[in-house]
Amino acid sequence: MSNRRIIILGAGLSGLSVAWHLQGKGTNCQIFEKESEIGGLCRSKKVNGFTFDYDGHSLHFRDSYTFNLIKSLLGSNLLEHQRSAWIYSHGKYSHYPFQANLYSLPHPIIKECLLGFTQVFRDMHSKKKVNNFLDWINQTFGEGIAKHFMIPYNTKFWTVSPQELTCEWLNGLIPIPSLNQIIEGAVKENEKQFGYNSRFWYPKRGGIIQVPLAFASSIKNVHTNCQITEINLKRKEIKIVPNNIEKFDYLISTVPLPELSYLIKEMPEGISILFKNLRWNSIFNLNLGIEEKDYSKRHWIYFPQKEICFFRVGFFNNFSPELSPVNSTSLYTEVAYSKDKPIDKDEIVLHIKEDLKKIGIISSEDKILVQDINDIKYGYPIYDRNYQYARRKILEYLKKNNIISCGRYGSWRYMSIEDCILEGKELVEQFF
Ligand SMILES: Cc1cc2nc3c(=O)[nH]c(=O)nc-3n(C[C@H](O)[C@H](O)[C@H](O)COP(=O)(O)OP(=O)(O)OC[C@H]3O[C@@H](n4cnc5c(N)ncnc54)[C@H](O)[C@@H]3O)c2cc1C
């Protein structure tokens, strides 16, 4: 295998993980990245003394292989955190997840949520088929929790109704506490932490880009400023801007699927139609550096309500104090949008700042020292009814043509940093 020409498109974490694992087996490859630096979505930038990520990122692990690998790559540049995640609802803060921490809500709402959840138990033996994510919400949590958090939050985040979504992406992402735990959390703050990321890690210095940089430090043949503009399947060639052509035996692509469809020449009509079925949301991320110390120690807060434009706000300075100057706060805000729910990009920054003031995260007196905008076109693939069929057929077609499409946007899945690293390892074991 080692004399085959393997080309990797994209030097985000997925491309780097494939290259790192290939190299570990003594197999050469070349990586072409269109940006001037590696890292993809997992990048950071320095602005006037503040280190901002391209939207908040934390490291969480379900697998000891990835955990040990990151530990060995980052060494002492790694901080461990007990997550401090919150929900802002009905004018109050309570711990994440909503369903296990109803205690701070107004009493009639706690009652509605508890009654709804106990009804789920009463209906246990007459459960209906789960046809979509909305059914799953109602049948897992009951009407109260659905109405006061699950439906508004998920509609805001996905930008489409939960009824349009399947449950294929869930994979343990939403914690399901027991009846006992829900009742306990309704009378007082729940001591138990829930969810896959109750502990997380983050680089002490330099932001999340330290992870891809650590991978790349030992990888050969990473070419930045090299955008692929065409893939010729017959000739097994790629065209690279400005004027270079490379031959391949295997192409490992982490390019977002919708973009890949424009690169491949002479694609059969039946396949290009499938690409048009792919839907996604986008994330407008505004980062702010503020001349005022944040004492909250919170990592991030979820906002389910329609009246507030962002769905989450996080605090970089609580991920690592080295990300912002002393006595300052650095925060990220995230607004989801899509073709189904567009935003006005001329107004959104103002709107975010107004909403931050409305809920008291910043005040009119606070001095904003820096602001930084990242408009992330591909945020989360939307798992609608067409998703599974379109994705499977597209990936099959690509594989038949020696293109292994992987990564969050290449394999078109809700993937974390860890998932991307693991997929790179598994792919190398499977194919090379
Ligand atoms: C808002 C948001 C928050 C997230 N938060 C977390 C988190 O807290 N924890 C976590 O574990 N994960 C998180 N993730 C997921 C994580 O960022 C991704 O899983 C991971 O970074 C994806 O890496 P990738 O290499 O698959 O894709 P990308 O990072 O998108 O890399 C693809 C690369 O391909 C390059 N490219 C594209 N087109 C071309 C072309 N034509 N020619 C050459 N190069 C090209 C791009 O420039 C890019 O560098 C988050 C994702 C989002 C959207």
Q: Which contacts (CB < 8 Å, 24+ apart) does range 62-71 have? A: 62/196, 62/418, 63/418, 63/422, 65/422, 65/425, 66/418, 66/421, 66/422, 69/421, 70/201, 70/211, 70/421
Distance from residue 263's CA to the centre of ligand 1 (Å) = 19
Read off the pLDDT of residues 35-64 as tens digits, 9 standing for 90 and up.
999 999 999 999 999 999 999 999 999 999
The residue to mutate among 41, 225, 404, 405, having the most atoms of ligand 1 within 8 angstroms of its beta carbon, is: 41
Q: What is the mean pLDDT of residues 2-23?
A: 95
- Angstrom distance (rounded) from CA 29 to CA 31: 7
Angle between helices 179-187 and 107-122 (to 10 degrees): 170
Instruction: Give the confidence band of 2 by pLDDT, cuts at 50, 70, 90.
Output: low
Query: Structure tokens of 120?
Result: 């789920």
* Helix, strand counts (H, E) of the chain: 14, 19
Distance from residue 10's CA to the centre of ligand 1 (Å) = 9
Read off the pLDDT of residues 373-388 as tens digits, 9 standing for 90 and up.
999 999 999 999 999 9
Distance from residue 9's CA to the centre of ligand 1 (Å) = 12
- In this structure, which amino acid lies at residue 28? N
Is any ligand 1 atom within 6 A of the Cβ of residue 420? yes
Task: Decide: 54 and 36 in contact? Cβ < 8 Å.
Answer: no
- In this structure, which amino acid lies at residue 314? G
- Angstrom distance (rounded) from CA 29 to CA 26: 10
Q: What is the mean pLDDT of residues 334-357?
A: 98
- In this structure, which amino acid lies at residue 194? F
Read off the pLDDT of residues 201-247 as tens digits, 9 standing for 90 and up.
999 999 999 999 999 999 999 999 999 999 999 999 999 997 799 99
Is any ligand 1 atom within 6 A of the Cβ of residue 32? yes
State percent of the chain over pLDDT 90.
92
Is any ligand 1 atom within 6 A of the Cβ of residue 264? no
- Angstrom distance (rounded) from CA 103 to CA 186: 4
Instruction: Give the confidence band of 1 by pLDDT, cuts at 50, 70, 90.
Output: very low
* Alpha helix positions (H), 75-203: 107-122, 133-141, 143-145, 151-158, 179-187
- Angstrom distance (rounded) from CA 217 to CA 280: 32
Domains of the chain: 6-42+209-277+385-431 (3.50.50.60), 44-62+71-83+197-207+280-381 (3.90.660.20), 100-182 (no CATH)
- Angstrom distance (rounded) from CA 391 to CA 263: 17
For atom 22 of ligand 1, which residue has the closest CA?
A: 408
First and final C-alpha spacing in the chain: 6
* Alpha helix positions (H), 128-237: 133-141, 143-145, 151-158, 179-187, 210-216
- Angstrom distance (rounded) from CA 215 to CA 420: 13
362 by Cβ neighbours in 10 Å (0-12 / 13-18 / 19+) ranks as buried
Task: Decide: 430 and 25 in contact? Cβ < 8 Å.
Answer: no
- Angstrom distance (rounded) from CA 378 to CA 17: 20
Q: What is the mean pLDDT of residues 260-269?
A: 94
Q: What is the DSSP letter of 125?
A: G
Read off the pLDDT of residues 178-209 as tens digits, 9 standing for 90 and up.
999 999 999 998 888 898 889 999 999 999 99
